[in-house]
Amino acid sequence: NSIYIIQYHSQVRDLSIGEGKLVRKGDKVRVLYEGRLSNSKGSVFDKTKDPKRAFSFIVGDGQVIKGWDVGVIGMRRGGERTLVIPPKMGYGHHGSLPEIPSNATLHFWIKVI
C-alpha cells in the first residue's frame, strides 16, 4: 500500500492490485469510483459503485481529467486505487460548478472492472 507521486504532485496509493494486463494509454477501461473534495467534510461530489453504471473512457484520450488519465495507468482489472489530484490535474482555477469549486484538490477511490 505504498503511496507514490505521479505528474504534478498527484498521489497514488494501490489498495489492491487486481489481475490481468496492465492498463496503458489507449486502453478502454470501465471503472467504479467515488470522488470527494479535500474539505473538512470530505464531501462526495460524484460516484458510481454499481457495475451496471460503470464509467468507461479511453485512457490518455482527454475524455476525463488529466489526473484520471495518468492515475489509472498501471492498474489491472479488479485493482483498486486512491488518487489525490491537485487542481492542475483536475478542474483547475475554473472548477466545475456547482459541485467542484475553483482550485479544488480532489480525492478519488477507483476500481477497474
pLDDT of amino acid 1: 64
The CATH number of the domain holding residue 10 is 3.10.50.40
Buried b (16+ CB within 10 A) or exposed e, 97-108: eeebeeebbbbb
Domain of 98?
Answer: 3-112
pTM for the complete prediction? 0.91
Residues annotated as catalytic (active site), given as ranges: 33, 45-46, 65, 91, 108
Which amino acid belongs to residue 38? Answer: S
Residue 64 CA to residue 90 CA, distance in Å, equals 9
Number of domains in the chain: 1
Average confidence score pLDDT of the chain: 94
Q: Are strands 44-48 and 80-85 parallel, antiparallel or unpaired?
A: unpaired
Number of residues assigned to the chain:
113
pLDDT of amino acid 72: 97
45 pLDDT band (50/70/90 cuts)?
A: very high
